[in-house]
Structure 1
């Protein structure tokens, strides 16, 4: 699987001051409290639990048990018992801002259903061990897509909270530690419908509304090569159906040109060209840049469906093309809809229709409201890595990540984390330290030690019914 190698992006200009000024002594205490071997073991154990979308239960239980052992009062909040959000907490001993960390339990991979996967992946691709296995290689780098996306960053913020507790540093505000299902997907499309195919709706989105959390700020912990962005693209999937006439093959009068053929599959050439040219225009007009990121909304044909291979006597009357369209903050699905319809009307077709099968808009945080959080991450990065935080590469602000969920709700949110591709143990340690310093910088230090007072839980430590 090819991975992009992002280049450094411009640094932020004049980041805001963090709410709490962390000292060198506190940084040193937290750095010493993060056990690199323990962190790597946590990431590997968690990453090696099979956790494709719709199969997150075992990984969720692992996180729950870890939080329980470490004293972070975990609870579950899920739309279904098999796909819960896991929520732990630390701090809340005084008066300070609340910060929520989230990462997703599911990892991109073939579905495991060969009848579907063989039409999407080559056999060699499906055999790649990095889909489901994680290990430390001979070059000292962590391999495996589950660590890169997204259980490595998850392990980092879990260990960050443990470091604060181990160092005896209590937080005035509260930090929530959350592990969510469904961020990768899937989506209910066509016959793959119903709650079994819900993705983002039962993850961080469900968590926000039903998880008993009240954050002032949020961080989606994902790989950004230590960069930071507070914006993200959404997406829509449009089904474009082209209609024609089914004709019994033995009586078909084969036309001289492809354009004259009755079967709509033969119209795919000009349809694809029209959608491609429209997509280039969409990308150019949708460029969205702020101090918090550069979003470049891309488009691509995701799949094609036509006819039935088991019923091939008369061609088909319907050919469907599914077009994935990224939506930069401010772009609406209706804009894409109208433009796709206009592009299709330029073609010589019997008839067609366009339908948005799924829509999720992109969002951006208010620059002034997110400034204290960005300032905290900048201060943490300077302490941990002796360099200011940089704006993340555009690829990280041109995709969906769960900071969109919180910016959607008016909660200033960013995404930031370790290197996305082949991180080292040192990278994980740096990321965990940045997260720990950020927790302290945002929530503030409590005069009470973490063990001197009970930390109240919204549900008194009880799970919801699922």
Structure 2
């Protein structure tokens, strides 16, 4: 849950009133938003297979008058981009959410080495439903539920007669969850981040002043995001014909490098504990706690046995807070494995994505807009999101990387209710109005003087 951190001093660009709240809330239909989330969520869309879900979003935007277009690295993996507003000189606000959902590979020859049979049978991987007042299914939680909320937010603004001065971009992206091209699993089919919001920003014809990654944050917000790396750690040894093998007294002296994995995992476990303790990062916009875990192990060829193996590879996933650089982790890991006396070993990052955070002063107007929207919708100020939401990759990283002040915020992540969806849609709609301004009356509020001392945005006189 959020920790109660107040965003004092954040002021939205435009005034939003209780009358605005009432008019826009009246245009949000709970049955409609639930139906949209369930329909969209029940379209199978594992990473690499987002086309059907993207086509649905495109058709919905076209029907509702948001002038959609498709921009993709391939026709099968498009970014869908719609717009509302743009009739004046207000700021532009981009909403994004991802089409892909976490899931097994659905290749039985791969999944059998990672999942229990009962895990693969869990219906929530690709099915969504409403039961006892709660919405079930991973696609709604991550991330087509929040996507449905900003789509309905745009429709509510349109229905209530609120054209916008600035542009409200509505974007649905492939590949946010992943995967990443590693080893023989290469090519566009295995790409994630590179063809999603990153590709959208460079090729999508968008010019946002601010961006929101719409994802579950329990109605909190954060402008901090972690990156990650995957290190391949290779242990080398010698293949010895089994009938000629003489077993050494210690496993660490065995010619087969698989026998040294125990020593390597002990080393990495100790390194990970030290890394986690040293990597805690806190700023006004969020608390990041990067962590590390072994993702997989590969060694030998099961059907080509007879002489062990000369090589075993271990793949270590490591989070990176917004201030950490890959070279620092590389040096630290190399030092640790050298000290462990593992013999011939090499360490190489095969995936690298740094973390990012927005500048506190530059993101302040967006935070102020979410704050007033949250107060009007939920009756309390917005809070800083729980650390887990600033300790992972979300696509606000893409925009902060390119100096577009961005946050992530959204409804209750686990088991949201229909009311959570309508509340989130209202927060998004009021935020867009507070950032972009109403086209018919572009009247900016008088900004308050900066608050110093406890000001979370770091501004000094």
Q: TM-score range by the shorter chain?
A: over 0.9
Alignment partner of 1:159 is 2:148:
no
Alignment partner of 1:353 is 2:346:
yes
Kindly provide the CA deviation profile for residues 293-344 of structure 1, in whole angstroms up to 9, marking residues without a partner as x: 0000100000000001011100001010100000000101111111110001
**Using the alignment, how far apart are the partners of 1:362 and 1:420 within structure 2?**
22
Q: Which residue of 1 aligns with 2:327?
A: 334
In structure 1, list runs of 5 or more residues that go unmatched. Answer: 1-6, 450-466
Q: Which residue of 2 aligns with 1:453?
A: none
Identify if the C-alpha distance between structure 1 residues 74 and 34 changes in structure 2 by more than 3 Å, giving closer, same or farther: same
SS in 1 for 2:264: helix
Whether contact under 8 Å (1:330, 1:362) holds in the other structure is: yes
Given the alignment, which residue of 107, 112, 124 partners 1:113?
Answer: 107
The count of residues paired between Structure 1 and Structure 2 equals 442
**Using the alignment, how far apart are the partners of 2:361 and 2:97 within structure 1?**
25
Alignment partner of 1:25 is 2:7:
no
Q: Which residue of 1 aligns with 2:386?
A: 393
TM-fit CA distance, 1:79: 0.5
Q: Which residue of 2 aligns with 1:460?
A: none
Given the alignment, which residue of 240, 264, 270 partners 2:263?
Answer: 270
Alignment partner of 1:91 is 2:89:
no
TM-fit CA distance, 1:196: 1.8
Pick which of 276-285 and 419-428 moved more: 276-285
TM-fit CA distance, 1:448: 7.5
Q: Which residue of 2 aligns with 1:234?
A: 227
**Using the alignment, how far apart are the partners of 1:52 and 1:349 within structure 2?**
39
Q: Which residue of 2 aligns with 1:50?
A: 44
The 5 A counterparts of 1:413-432 are 413-432=406-425
**Using the alignment, how far apart are the partners of 1:79 and 1:98 within structure 2?**
25
Q: Which residue of 2 aligns with 1:104?
A: 98
Superposition RMSD in Å: 1.0
**Using the alignment, how far apart are the partners of 2:222 and 2:342 within structure 1?**
43
Kindly provide the CA deviation profile for residues 18-72 of structure 1, in whole angstroms up to 9, marking residues without a partner as x: 1111011010001010001000000000000000000000000000000000000
SS in 2 for 1:325: strand
The 5 A counterparts of 1:122-201 are 122-137=116-131, 139-201=132-194
TM-fit CA distance, 1:174: 0.4
Q: Under a length normalisation based on structure 1, what TM-score does the superposition of the two structures give?
A: 0.94
Whether contact under 8 Å (1:380, 1:434) holds in the other structure is: yes
Q: Which residue of 2 aligns with 1:212?
A: 205
**Using the alignment, how far apart are the partners of 1:204 and 1:347 within structure 2?**
41
**Using the alignment, how far apart are the partners of 2:285 and 2:271 within structure 1?**
28
Whether contact under 8 Å (1:15, 1:378) holds in the other structure is: no
Given the alignment, which residue of 9, 26, 32 partners 1:38?
Answer: 32
SS in 1 for 2:305: coil
Q: Under a length normalisation based on structure 2, what TM-score does the superposition of the two structures give?
A: 0.95
In structure 2, list runs of 5 or more residues that go unmatched. Answer: 443-461
Whether contact under 8 Å (2:211, 2:405) holds in the other structure is: yes
Whether contact under 8 Å (1:12, 1:291) holds in the other structure is: no
Kindly provide the CA deviation profile for residues 211-238 of structure 1, in whole angstroms up to 9, marking residues without a partner as x: 0000000000000000100010000000
Q: Which residue of 1 aligns with 2:64?
A: 70
Given the alignment, which residue of 4, 12, 16 partners 1:10?
Answer: 4
Runs of 4+ in 1 over 6 A off after TM superposition: none
